[in-house]
């Protein structure tokens, strides 16, 4: 009889790019796929998460740069854990930087 021991393992793949729309305006996008077995007690206790990102940056106003960005994320688990954050998530942000 062979006994298979569970291992806590994970991996992720990322892909992204940016496109110059004009001399000072950049468009960005990305995607991440993440899979993780979070424990060593069970052979299949997986978390799967995906995230799509986007952003727009303007950098032509003196030494200032402004960037707007956001993401959409969704998770799936194969275990009913009430402490696990599941389902979709969305975030937006705005960054203002001064280059010295």
Q: What is the pLDDT of residues 9-60, one digit of tens each?
A: 788 999 999 999 999 999 999 999 988 876 666 666 677 889 999 999 998 8
Phi, psi of 46 (to 5 degrees): -105, 150
Tens digits of residue pLDDT in 46-95: 778 899 999 999 988 778 999 999 999 988 777 665 555 556 789 999 99
- Single out the residue of 33, 47, 34, 36 nearest to residue 7, CA to CA: 36
Domain ranges of the chain: 10-98
Higher-scoring residue by pLDDT: 30, 5 = 30
Q: What order of strands is seen across the sheet that includes strand 46-61?
A: 10-20, 25-37, 46-61, 64-77, 87-98
Rounded Cα distance, 9 and 39, in Å: 8
Residue 7 or 82, more confident: 7
Long-range contacts of 79-85 (CB under 8 A, 24+ apart): 79/42, 79/45, 79/46, 84/47
d(CA 2, CA 15): 39
pLDDT at 3: 47
Higher pLDDT, 8 or 65: 65
């Amino acid at each position: 009889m062979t006994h298979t021991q569970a291992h806590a393992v994970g991996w992720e793949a990322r892909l992204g790019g940016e496109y110059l729309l004009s001399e000072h305006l950049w468009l960005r996008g990305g995607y991440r796929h993440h899979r993780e077995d979070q424990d060593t007690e069970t052979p299949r206790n997986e978390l799967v998460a995906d995230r799509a990102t986007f952003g727009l940056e303007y950098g032509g106003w003196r030494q200032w740069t402004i960037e707007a960005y956001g993401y959409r994320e969704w998770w799936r688990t194969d275990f009913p854990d009430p402490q696990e954050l599941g389902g979709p998530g969305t975030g937006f942000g705005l960054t203002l930087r001064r280059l010295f």
